Chains A and B, each alone.
Chain A
Amino acid sequence: MLFKLSLKNIKKSIKDYAIYFFTLILGVAIFYVFNAIESQTVMLQVSKSTHELIKLMNTMLSGVSVFVSFILGFLIIYASRFLIKRRKKEFGIYMTLGMSKGKISKILLFETLLIGIISLIVGLGLGVILSQLMSIIVANMFEADMTKFAFTFSSSAVGKTILYFGIIYLLVMIFNTFSVSKCKLINLINANRKNEKIKVKNPVICTLIFIISVGLLGYAYYNVTALVNSLTQSKLILMIIFGCIGTFLLFWSLSGLILRIVKSIKKIYLKGLNCFVLKQIDSKVNTTVFSMTIICLMLFLTISILSSGLSLKNSMTSNLKELAPVDIELYKPLDISGNDIYGVPYSNEVIEDSKTSVKDTLDRMNFDYNKNFKDMIDFNSYATNELTVRNTLGNYLSEVENAFPALNLDTAEEIVKISDYNKVAKLYGNKTYELDDDEYMIIADFDSMIEIRNKSLSDNTNITLLGKTYSPKYSECKDGFISMSSNHINTGIILVPDDAVDESIRARNHLIANYNANDEEGRKNIENQLTSDELGDIVNTTLLEASSKISIYEASIGLSALITFIGIYLGIIFLISSAAILALKELSESSDNKERYTILRKIGVDEKMINKSLFVQIAIFFLLPLFIAIIHSIFGLMFANEILITFGNEHLLTSIIVTACILIFIYGGYFIITYLCSKNIIKS
């Protein structure tokens, strides 16, 4: 009997439940999709190091899933609280008919159970479909072979989804029972009668608070963008707090202020239903300042995470082609002494090894470089404590010291002979240069450092090397690099004429080469010889290091995939949460508003005007936090760009467009459903 009642209730209020259902299904589906990635990646044909990265990614994703389940749990409990609020009168009627609270709790229990089961089934179904789509994305990211790909169904992900959501639904049931047991009959019966008191805010205080909030936000924006280079971690946290408080105060003051301004423009205020619409929005924003702030901040996170996550992936892969032009670069420090960076003295073997070249060490490893390598270039680079970053700055030293306190000015500059560099540049496909006897130049590709160096170069700052003075040939750094990496991280290499240095200040030996193989398989074989376990103890007696195209690619792909996946995962969950809260808030008020619309109809307002006013109200309610979030994001992305500058930002626009599409799809979807449901509720 009770079960039947529950079933009927759900059928009857399916419209009220639409948003709830929509949210649950989306939540379940996304949860499944991201947890199913593990079983999809198992099937991928990838190398060992990529496999390690995938394992790391899966661990991270399941960790993030716990966090996500907390967010979804709060969201679902919040949503069910709204539904209970809407049905207080119904419960009141049950109770006047003699139904006990226990039985009402049971009805709710059945309902939650039913909705839970249905949403799980539908959500998992949707999840399985979506995860096939995800498979394509995953395979694409890891550049895996798609031909062996088949339909995947992850039973472990299904189990995990059911477990997590089971716990959430259980909590909802407990919460519902608790809130029913707390109810008083008289309150339930009178739940519909509500005497709204309108708080009128003092306009002077409103204006004052508004100015304070704009000031706080402006200060935070300024600090994270224009002054980003002098930003310390504690200051950054302070700016984040300022941003949060600023947002809260902005929402607090905004509604009152807008009302005030529009009220003074009689032409707008006394037109159609404008004054009604305005008052509606005002009261809505007034009562939801806190949730508005949270929603705005969540939207801000969504936009920032999605945009920067997606652009990271894009720029990483495109940078690679340019930044890893050859197969391998080997290097080792020369003539070392003393302690390593951990303060442990170097062993004698290591010191002995550092007196020999890379080729000598390869010989000791029994690696036949003449057979396996082609296009070999080997050369030394030089460094001396007489030529540090400090010495190259000239008149700009104090300015740079103030602007970039974190910069270590006592690092010895890396010096390379112009002829050696030209050989490398030729192999890399970069531009080559000529220098006169008394000239030097700097090549770099790390933006912040280029900025610093350009200042001193344009000031014609001379450097002294082994007693001889050199002047800069160019007034700015030239683009280029020697060490391969996944990002632009060359902070500067000083190129000097060949006879400017001698072997007394040699610092590193480099060996740059391509693998002597024609296909991917052959290249991998050579790489495996270099990294094979059979080398044994030799690796402990040398400081030889290498960066290879293959390893850079794999690491970079894995890292970018990791960041992108977590970014998309969190971004979408945040987006769903904020849109759902807005939708529920709006719908829960629609029933209160029903009476107001009835009055409007009675005094002769036609449906068209009513629908328009409803649309405008919901649109503003949805757009206000989004608008402020977008402003936040503009500065947030500028900040992200600054600190992630090494990752490159050429693709920000594309990822912003993708983000906008996701945003419009999910947020817009919620908006439309909310509008349609509200329209339905206020229908006469």
Chain B
Amino acid sequence: MKNILKISNIEKYYGNKSNITKAINNISFEVEEGEFVAIMGASGSGKTTLLNCISTIDKVTSGHIFVGDEDITTLKGNALNKFRREELGFIFQDFNLLDTLTAYENIALALTIQGKNPKEIEKRILDIAKKLNIKDVLKKYPYQMSGGQKQRVASARAIITNPKLILADEPTGALDSKSAKMLLENFEYLNKDFKATILMVTHDAFTASYASRVIFIKDGKIFNEIRKGEDSRKEFFDKIIDVVTILGGDLSDVV
């Protein structure tokens, strides 16, 4: 399988010479095309910093991040924005749909800011709406939609640009259990049916159990890594809990 994301020896320091905080301390790993990877760790372990570096919101102190064949740590200015627009998709816990726009327009926005041709935009939206079963809500505003519909619209927006990588930061953090389950099933669907590569950051074992691989981070370093393989989700969840237990009492809320 082809590598979508390759992280090699990245470090991220905060502060000045006299008082350095190593948020990320020499992390390397790779994500293959079509993988669904969860990064777990307690608050302060550096997992969000890692995600920020991958999504180019933050810059690494040293090391390299390759998305496809491109080293994104060398990108600057407009090239950076272009990269973020065209190669990455984001899914947020509170959907982040614009309340003034209809579902159609919300999805279209991801393409219009890339300067795509209107005809193509229309075709692609109808196409993805059919697949995600949101054809009926395209003309509706977010306040007229159910939570599940909003979630699917947000997903449609994230994948319509055919991003190499979909990033999600604590996607279930503020959701009730029903909505969280809905979101995660949606992720599974995107991963399986759309072959989308997903990288998700979470501190919640239940959420992580939907992934195909979980990377544990502690104090800015990779602590462990487990794969789902042929396990059922329940078995995988138990394995995650085992690692969390070894990891220490830091992860208190494992559900």
- A→B interface (CB under 8 Å): 195-198, 266-267, 269-276, 279-280, 283, 596, 599-600, 602-606, 609
Contact = CB atoms under 8 A, between A and B. Distances in A.
A599 B113 contact: no
Interface in B39-93: 78, 81, 84-86, 88, 90, 92
Nearest to A271: B112
B118 A604 contact: no
B157 to A, nearest CB: 7
Contacts of A276: 98, 100-101, 105, 109
Nearest to B80: A606
B118 A266 contact: yes
B30 interface: no
B112 A274 contact: yes
A592 B84 CA distance: 25
A599 B85 contact: no
Contacts of A267: 118
A599 B115 contact: no
Between A271, A275, A602, the greatest number of chain B beta carbons within 10 A of the residue's beta carbon is seen for A275
A487 B244 CA distance: 96
Contacts of B81: 604-606
Contacts of B96: 599, 602-603
Contact of B105 (A275, A596, A604): A275
Contact of B113 (A195, A266, A269, A605): A605
Main secondary structure of the interface of B (DSSP, over half): helix
Contacts of B90: 602-603
Nearest to A283: B100
Given A273-B112, A275-B105, A266 B88 contact: no
Interface string B108-138: 1111110100110110000000000000000
Nearest to B116: A270
Between B110, B113, B122, the greatest number of chain A beta carbons within 10 A of the residue's beta carbon is seen for B113
B101 A275 contact: yes
Between B97, B100, B119, the greatest number of chain A beta carbons within 10 A of the residue's beta carbon is seen for B100
A275 B122 contact: no
B112 A603 contact: no
Contacts of A606: 78, 81
12 contacts: A196-B100, A197-B143, A198-B141, A273-B109, A275-B105, A275-B109, A275-B112, A276-B98, A283-B100, A602-B96, A603-B113, A605-B113
Contacts of B100: 196, 198, 276, 279-280, 283, 596
Contacts of A599: 96-98
A603 B118 contact: no
Nearest to A598: B96
A574 B25 CA distance: 63
Contacts of A196: 99-100, 143
A270 B113 CA distance: 9
Between B101, B121, B157, the greatest number of chain A beta carbons within 10 A of the residue's beta carbon is seen for B101
A196 B99 CA distance: 7
Given A279-B101, A280-B100, A604-B84, A272 B118 contact: no
Contacts of A604: 81, 84-86, 88, 110, 113
Nearest to B114: A604
A270 B84 contact: no
A269 B116 CA distance: 12
A426 B96 CA distance: 85
